[in-house]
Structure 1
Amino acid sequence: MRPTRLRDLVVAFLAAGIVAHLLVSLAYGSLPSFPGPAGATLGVLGLAEAVAGQILKARVERRPGSRPVDPLSAARAVLVAKASALGGALVAGLWAGLLVYVLPRAGSVTAAASDTTAALVGLVCALVLVGGALWLERSCRTPDDPGDERGVRDE
């Protein structure tokens, strides 16, 4: 299984952002207001994945006091990490598309000001999810993993 490529995440982020911006610009007047903590759940999931990655890293490296990790558990963790990274990039793109639309209007439209806060919280929390997912995926690499060398590029 190949590591998640940053360019795939960037493409998903940009595509979702463009679609969200187009949809919001067409239907913003008929949309309900976005609650401020709407995207906070993604931040909690991202932190949980980062903590799980730290624990799993110790188990993969067989540090003293930690049990060896079951290969199937590591494979499941990588699957969750890859899905979370892509999902987080897509949702971050959606929040960014909303933010690009509402930020210039925040001074003149009251709803846009509150939606700006929601979009910022959502964007930051979605990026936390992407970071936690990438850390979890990286933590599952074995010390002798050939893709783990400094000089190897991920294509």
Structure 2
Amino acid sequence: MRHDLHVRRAAGGDVEAMSRVLIASITELCTLDHDGDPILIASWTRNKSVAGVDGMLANPDLMLLVARNRDTVVGVGAVAGGNEVALNYVDPGHVRHGVGRTLLAAMEAEIADRGFAVGRLTSTRTALGFYRANGWNEDGPPEASWGMPGYPMSKRLGA
């Protein structure tokens, strides 16, 4: 499948597609974390509804990004608090096509442009290898997040 990826700030017209990508990614790709438990999935996706994503878009402390392949949203990312990667989710049909890596690079650039030398995130178990492969390092033991372990990570950005 050929991908013509580009990343841009999310807009109101993206909300439904963003919700779809977030929920599908969590439900279908993060089974290592939720093990198909409907209670954990419901808890994790509760704020990923159209209304929830609309609220995220209105939050001045979040910068939401979408990765698009032609006219289709295939990834969703967010930077929070200046230097935190808060979201990095890929549509299940577009995994291993560079979507997550492209979004991550855009978020790292945004964090560096904001003047931060270090980026931070909390990884799922599913994404831990992805972040390690992209230069992120664990910053201590796992912490409880959505009833599952979350892995604090950081990366030195820029020179």
Q: TM-score range by the shorter chain?
A: under 0.3
Higher Cα radius of gyration: 1
TM-score by length of 2: 0.24
Name the structure with the higher helix share: 1
